[in-house]
Structure 1
Amino acid sequence: MAEKIRIETPFTVEQSKKLKAGDSVLITGTIISARDAAHKVMCEALARGEKLPVDWKNEIVYYLGPTPAKPGDPIGSCGPTTSGRMDAYTPTMLEQGITGMIGKGS
């Protein structure tokens, strides 16, 4: 079994160049979650010349798909959502400095 690569956030471009498809990683630090609706809002705001509320430079985004919380639970289950939903927004978000994306799909 291959050894897992340990990375910490902020996650720089230099760190990302050391990884290749299929690597297993352990991430320590802050990861920001946002899915297609959030990406759409952010891209629309940028198109209007507005500043985003989050500085995305050297950040990792988790394409998170939440489910409603069960009664009595503070939060529902969360898991990766299909990365392809963000394809239209990815170039704009990469321009904002995102260096890592977590989701599912090819």
Structure 2
Amino acid sequence: MEKKKIDAQKIAEQAPLLSAGDQVLLSGVIYTARDQAHKRIKALMEQGKPLPFALEGASIYYAGPTPTPPNLPIGACGPTTSSRMDPYAPALLDAGLKCMIGKGGRSEAVCEAVCRNKAVYLCAIGGAGALAAQSVRSLEVIAFEDLGCESVKRLTVENFPLIVAIDCHGGNLFH
């Protein structure tokens, strides 16, 4: 199967062209955020305070990279279980988030929000954090440094191999 090359900065335009089961190679800027970062982002949204990055058209990777070895941009950075972010995902999608990357199924509320917002949920290969790290070209911690590996990081990725798990037309590999 041919892999589709997609640009993280154009994901809002490209998401409607993707179908569940498509293999993609993602390049561009994405952000890491896990449970605690999502909790803080949601609190900032509720308080009307600035967010660590603009959600409009953004891609979030549910990962907490391991410490960075010498001469590499990142340590292993495999996906974490996406359902842990389900309480936060619909609000982030409604605020402009267009792409989530993780592993495992999602709640019905998240699936509905993906469709409603013409977004996409991509799955990375679980247990292959070293493989995922090979796609990372740069890393910068941009928020919540006190969370350590779960801080929000801006990653630049190139040809990150992913699979479309939930598309904005209702396609879902988990159903």
Give the TM-score normalised by the residue count of structure 2. Answer: 0.54
CA distance in 2 between counterparts of 1:42 and 1:99 reads 16
Partner of 1:26: 25
Q: How does 1:1-106 map to 2 (within 5 A)?
A: 2-68=1-67, 73-74=69-70, 75-106=74-105
Kindly indicate which of the two structures has a greater share of residues assigned to helix. 2
Cα distance, 1:37 vs structure 2: 0.9
Query: Contact 1:63/1:102 (CA < 8 Å) preserved in 2?
Result: yes
The percentage of counterpart residues that share the same residue type is 48
Listed one character per residue, the Cα deviations across residues 62-102 of structure 1 (whole Å, up to 9, x for unaligned) are 10033356xxx255421100000100000111122111111
Q: What CA RMSD, in Å, does the superposition of the two structures yield over aligned residues?
A: 1.6
Deviation of the 1:12 alpha carbon:
3.6
SS state at 2:78 partner:
strand
Give the distance between the partners of 1:19 and 1:48, measured in 2 at CA: 34
- What is the CA–CA distance in structure 2 between the aligned matches of 1:6 and 1:76, rounded to whole Å? 24
Gaps of 5+ in 1: none
Quick one: distance in 1 between partners of 2:67 and 2:30? Answer: 21
The one-letter amino acid paired with 2:80 is: T
Q: TM-score, normalised by structure 1?
A: 0.86
Give 1 or 2: higher strand fraction: 2
Equivalent-residue separation in structure 2 for 1:17 and 1:103 (angstroms) = 19
Gaps of 5+ in 2: 106-175
Q: Is the 8 A contact 1:4 1:23 kept in 2?
A: yes
Amino acid at match of 2:13: E
Tell whether the 8 Å contact from 2:32 to 2:64 is kept in structure 1 after alignment: no
Deviations 1:19-66 (A, max 9, x none): 111111011111111111111100011111212121111111110033
Closer, same or farther: CA 104–47 of 1 in aligned 2, 3 Å: same
Aligned residues: 102
Q: State whether residues 11 and 59 of structure 1, in contact with CA within 8 Å, keep that contact through their aligned partners in structure 2.
A: no
Query: One-letter code of the match for 1:100?
Result: C
Runs of 4+ in 1 over 6 A off after TM superposition: none
Partners of 1:22 and 1:51 in 2: CA distance:
36
- Give SS of 2:91's match: helix
